[in-house]
Structure 1
């Protein structure tokens, strides 16, 4: 609900309006709370997939690399957000857009780093940098390719992203991938910590209001953290306890360019460039959502182009210093619609807070002490919401036989390859990595079929493929 005590209705719809500082600061921090856990989670997942994250021998010894990746996630989310809110020439929409580490790229990153440790990072960040520059290039023609990604395609892709990640949430809640061969994996103790987070998050989402509801996942993880401390899953003292872990981290540190090196990998470059299209279309939707929800108008071509430029530049610069691709965060779009405060300067304050956290390694070290089971409870909620968002997009699709065939084939191939990666084990390494992500083959199939198949497919031409499950000519997923 719009709070008119902050300003007049006209002021609240103005991106250039600055609320009083005593109101602007908590509003800015509210934006950070809404995206904080989602922003650092990709770094934790990639580190875990590579073998130096939670539960690994390196992680148990306080290995600093995951903390550094977390630090860069915060720092460059803040810097990319400044590109959007303050702008730099043609870069930036100059709207209250919050940038953060994108979930969309995780299904691409996991096959690239799986079990390879730090050796996988040069190629990974090489792909991020090249992909970011290509993403920036998309800004010059984003308006001309939107036709190729209707809700059928974007909804499928977002749903596939969520489906690719839900397994990670369950594994984390049960004890993490490194613990899968150990007796404690899947124990009641592990699940109890995850379920505490889930129940607290749901309770706040449904029964609280304002900042409590917006920061439900963060508060849920904090409650889960204290629960884990009480039941002995983590300790405060000892060589690897909370105090020692935080004490070993520096108070202040600057990012290191090319800390992990730089390497050209065809699989990484192709993967990140293809996903840049999906991320760009997502940003277009977020920009449109902000202008509609906060200002009651359509987004201009200049705003959409500037936002896409900021996505790409932010991602490329992040890759140089060990950060992951950035994109606009949809949860903050909803927050603007809820508060009615369209001020870009409020989001700028939030960005400065993120940058401050990113320059203080002790923050990353503290996050590093969160038990993986506790994080699992949070990501179960988050990744489930990604799937739900995709289904929500699909509700706008005209479910005729043509669209059902496209969806069915793309989903079957994409999800099938993801579940059974050995099915393409004899393909060249580059193509195998791209195919087993599941996401890229599903997206390519959906885009190509959507462009090739005529809109007026007859009943006879689709009856055999659809198997009689054609549904109604129009409809939604509601019932």
Structure 2
């Protein structure tokens, strides 16, 4: 265990190697925090496009690729990856563009195989957008500033809080949404996590999330909210078959997907900055830009692997930064355990099926605090800035635009579908607004001197 920073809240630092037992505990909490996020986009896409019997296989592939991608981000082979505990999973940002591609194939009379062939084809080629962009990240210092990344991270956290509170109440369109049982389960999990996380015992703190989820799961079983009836219908094992559904391409489907790849690079930069903060790594200088460059490159490469192995584009997950903060474990070696668990869950779907039955209120109680922690990290970055009138204006307009479209998505209802796909995301619109205003609004000399003085 590193002792290099006595004032640090970390139990294990980036390059520490925790014992197997501690590593497994931390890894399980990362898996539980991200499991639903990884499989949910597949469930949504499969349901909307009518993929039916293909869905279990697609879920298995999503988990296996998340394991491979998380390992690459941590191990950083050939400079691919951030070299940190960055859990990767299926990106929600691509939902609308992926569905649009699916409808294009459907309109041509295609069945599930043709739909998936087109989706994975455009996702594979679109990944090159992010791969190429990653090579210029270090030259974009006017764009990737603490102000912009602070805004993006804050918006990421705040926009995700809606997901957490929705799950806590029962999940989107749940018949018992907001029932006393659902709210009680969520609050119980939240209370357990908060109580245990304040303990001075490292083991208790390390286990806070998994214990909170376990308590909630047991309580949900007692209330009759857990059923394992579907487990008998799952196959014994799922083996990855590259391009199982074929490979096709369409420019109309490709362009929206390519644009989202461009935008997710900004989101990934924000996530990696938050990860650096929680892992006690610098968020300025050559090492920081090297990590961001490798992380964005890893996103692109991992999304190519995802398309080849029959799942949807990957990105770094925000909620796992909150797990690092709450557990105090930032060791990248924990990612190897996370990877192994995901791959096993994918290969043997019955195991994942058990976790899939965890009620949403239980997960919501945990993710609510995790997402809130991400938002707090963004606020922490912004609090270190010299907030002159220019920066306050950039923050105000960026938050207003990003969170405004999140609060009322119908504001873009009359715009072309492509515009809705691009600017309908709070993170995308808020991040692009922050970048545009940072470039367009000149920085006064006084602000520059104050900023340089504070940096010194």
TM-score bracket, normalised by the shorter chain, equals: 0.7 to 0.9
Q: Which moved more, 1:450-459 or 1:31-40?
A: 450-459
Structure 1 partner of 2:233 = 248
Structure 1 partner of 2:7 = none
Distance 1:37 1:13 in 2: 21
Structure 1 partner of 2:9 = none
Distance 1:275 1:66 in 2: 25
Distance 2:21 2:394 in 1: 46
Say if 1:250 and 1:48 are closer, same or farther in 2 by CA, change over 3 A. Answer: closer
Match of 1:442 among 407, 412, 430: 430
1:142-164 deviations in Å (ceiling 9; x for gaps): 21113312122111112222222
Deviation at 1:79, TM superposition (A): 1.2
Secondary structure of the corresponding residue to residue 78 of structure 2 = coil
Aligned pairs for 1:177-216 (under 5 A) are: 177-179=172-174, 182=175, 184-207=176-199, 209-216=201-208
Deviation at 1:192, TM superposition (A): 1.4
Aligned residues: 423
Distance 1:215 1:125 in 2: 38
Match of 2:396 among 384, 408, 411: 408
Distance 1:302 1:150 in 2: 15
Match of 2:347 among 359, 362, 371: 359
1:124-173 deviations in Å (ceiling 9; x for gaps): 65665445332222332221113312122111112222222222222222
1:347-388 deviations in Å (ceiling 9; x for gaps): 434433432233221122112211222222222222222222
Distance 2:200 2:233 in 1: 37
Say if 1:67 and 1:382 are closer, same or farther in 2 by CA, change over 3 A. Answer: farther
Deviation at 1:74, TM superposition (A): 3.4
- The TM-score, its normalising length taken from structure 1, stands at 0.74
- After superposition, the CA RMSD in angstroms is 4.0
Structure 2 partner of 1:383 = 371
Structure 2 partner of 1:156 = 151
Residue segments in structure 2 that go unaligned for 5+ positions in a row: 5-11, 452-456
Deviation at 1:416, TM superposition (A): 1.7
Say if 1:219 and 1:316 are closer, same or farther in 2 by CA, change over 3 A. Answer: farther
Structure 2 partner of 1:273 = 262
Secondary structure of the corresponding residue to residue 148 of structure 1 = coil
Deviation at 1:260, TM superposition (A): 6.9
Distance 1:285 1:170 in 2: 22
Distance 1:442 1:140 in 2: 24
CA contact (8 A) 1:258 1:322 kept: no
Distance 2:245 2:329 in 1: 41
Distance 1:111 1:215 in 2: 38
Deviation at 1:219, TM superposition (A): 2.4
Distance 1:273 1:230 in 2: 46
Distance 1:379 1:121 in 2: 31
1:22-78 deviations in Å (ceiling 9; x for gaps): x6422432441242123223234435655849xxxx99xxx7766555534432232
Structure 2 partner of 1:82 = 71
Structure 1 partner of 2:454 = none
Distance 1:314 1:280 in 2: 16
Deviation at 1:457, TM superposition (A): 8.3
Match of 1:106 among 89, 92, 104: 92
Match of 2:218 among 216, 226, 235: 226
